Copies of this chain bind each other. A is one copy, B any other.
Amino acid sequence: MPQRIRPGEVAIDLPATFDAGLYFIGRIHTPWARREDCPKNGADSDAVCTIEVDERYAAGLRDIESVSHLIVLYFMDEAPRDVMLQAPRHYRRPHGAFALRSPARPNPIACSIVRLVAVAERRLDVIGLDCRDGTPLIDIKPYFASIDAVPEATVGWHVDERDS
């Protein structure tokens, strides 16, 4: 359900067909029933969320309990896919979709880093998610600090517009 375009935003025509397909491999259970209840990002919340992997894929979880942090990919199925220039209310001016972490993008796949706190069979309790209850799960990967942690990374436009 595409949202209306705000002033300064630009939408495009999407291709008529997809190039590849995704399986929903499970669901994410969170305390937030609606999109507007969700925290702005997962780091803003200490809520424990539960990732439930479908039985079909359960063998893929072996050794996951030894991993401290996970990269979770999930499908933002309520997000519009055609808004390339976006004007979120909390920023001063429009930015490109690829310079934002907005769920609205051609492939609305969110990527969150979470801390794994418990594993019980196909259910993983994690801290650090921001999505609506029932969000479709796409993938889980182990987070390797050696390749994934870049503490010195900066987002210039964001620093310039930060209120605080």
- Determine which of B25, B68, B113 lies in contact with A154 in the assembled complex, contact meaning CB atoms within 8 Å: B68
Range of interface residues on chain A?
A: 35 or more
Contact of A107 among B64, B73, B156 (CB under 8 A): B73
Interface of A is mostly: mixed
Asked whether A99 and B62 contact (CB < 8 A) given A18-B22, A21-B18, A57-B106, the answer is: yes
Chain B residues with CB under 8 Å of A157's CB are: 63, 66-67
> What are the residues of chain B within 8 A of A19 when measuring CB–CB?
21-24, 136
- Taken residue by residue from 33 to 72, chain A's Cβ proximity to chain B (1 for < 8 Å, 0 otherwise) reads as 0000000011100000000010011111111101111010
The residue that A63 contacts in the complex, of B14, B41, B99, with Cβ under 8 A, is: B99
Query: A144 to B101, alpha carbons, bound, how many Å?
Result: 9
Q: Judge if A20 is at the interface, Cβ distance under 8 Å.
A: yes
Instruction: Kindly report how many copies of this chain are found in the complex they form together.
Output: 2
Q: Looking at A63, A64, A67, A105, which has the most chain B CB atoms within 10 Å of its CB?
A: A63
In the bound assembly, the distance between CA atoms of A63 and B152 in angstroms comes to 19
Q: Given the known inter-chain contacts A12-B57, A69-B153, please indicate yes or no for A64 contacting B23, CB distance below 8 A.
A: no
Chain A interface residues toward B at CB < 8 A: 10, 12-15, 17-25, 41-43, 53, 56-64, 66-69, 71, 73, 75, 77, 81, 84-85, 94-101, 105-107, 109, 111-113, 115, 136, 138-158, 160
Report 23 cross-chain contacts, Cβ distance below 8 Å, ordered by A residue.
Answer: A19-B23, A20-B136, A21-B21, A23-B81, A25-B106, A43-B146, A57-B84, A62-B96, A66-B155, A67-B99, A67-B155, A68-B152, A73-B73, A98-B139, A98-B140, A98-B142, A113-B147, A143-B150, A143-B153, A144-B153, A148-B150, A149-B150, A149-B153
